[in-house]
Amino acid sequence: MNRLAERGARCSLSSIILEHKYPVLPPEYLFILELEQDEYFPFLAADEVPLLIRQAMQKGHTAAKQWGCEKSFSGMINLLLKEGLTVRFKEVHGEIPSIRAEYDRKQHRISIYRSSVSQIRQLFQDMNLSVPDKDLYLLHLVHEWFHHLEETKVGRTDYALPRATVKQKGPFALRKPLKRLREIAAHTFTQNALNLAWSPLLLDYLLLYRGKGWSMGQIRKTFKKDKERIRSMYDVEQTDNDSDD
Ligand SMILES: [Zn+2]
């Protein structure tokens, strides 16, 4: 166990530098991959994409400034209970095992799946880092807390941001909200609230590719290809840590 885990220090996730072991992709690129999976993504023009990403990130960022101050597991549980939410811990999602956690607006309930927590624990253990489980639960709770804030305080990201124009037969076009923007805002909120050096969405990709048995080299190559493709298609701002390839 590392020093932080023995002490059970809060916010130890914020001390982790993933690129010490894993290939990484900056948040803006991960978010484009996320938005590309939205069912209405095909109706967006390429020049709308970077702006939508920036607006969704801004939403998460602003919400974190106002609401993202709780950084302990017990403090977060108390906050959620005060909001009238219940939190339940289950082994694995019954239908979709890749689901890590869920917010149920109607039931006022957050569910966290232990299978996800153990996957992430293992990812860090492979870096010789032992993160307290409470921090890993907190990582999930903060994300779902944002979805609750969307419903109660800050408004749903996909409703607030520009929608995709879906052309139908006939004279009318439909404006459809892009649900994946909610995830982009939630990941940004979580990263900011917990002061992480990486987007929590990066963990999803690392776990996905590891689950397929890919080597670090294969993951690195895939990220590099993604980056090149994204740069050729969209006007993405290049950050300092983009220059290492
Ligand atoms: Zn979410």
What value does the mean pLDDT of the chain take?
A: 91
List residues, by chain if needed, whose CB lies under 5 Å from ion ligand 1.
Answer: 183, 186
Answer with the residue of higher pLDDT: 238 or 51: 51
Beta partners for 39?
Answer: none
3-class secondary-structure state, position 102: strand
pLDDT band of 4, cuts 50, 70, 90: very low
State the average pLDDT over residues 72-86. Answer: 95
* Distance from Cα 205 to the centre of ligand 1, integer Å: 15
pLDDT band of 239, cuts 50, 70, 90: low
Could you give the CA distance from residue 46 to residue 58 in angstroms, rounded to a whole number? 20
Answer with the residue of higher pLDDT: 164 or 3: 164
State the average pLDDT over residues 127-154. Answer: 95
Q: Where are the beta strands (DSSP E) in the chain?
A: 86-90, 101-104, 109-113, 164-167, 173-176
Question: Which tens digit of pLDDT belongs to each residue from 6-49?
Answer: 433 334 799 999 999 999 999 999 999 999 999 999 999 999 99
* Distance from Cα 154 to the centre of ligand 1, integer Å: 15
* Distance from Cα 180 to the centre of ligand 1, integer Å: 9
* Distance from Cα 99 to the centre of ligand 1, integer Å: 10
Lowest-confidence segment of 103-107, 167-171, 206-210, 235-239 by average pLDDT:
235-239
* Distance from Cα 87 to the centre of ligand 1, integer Å: 15
* Distance from Cα 144 to the centre of ligand 1, integer Å: 6
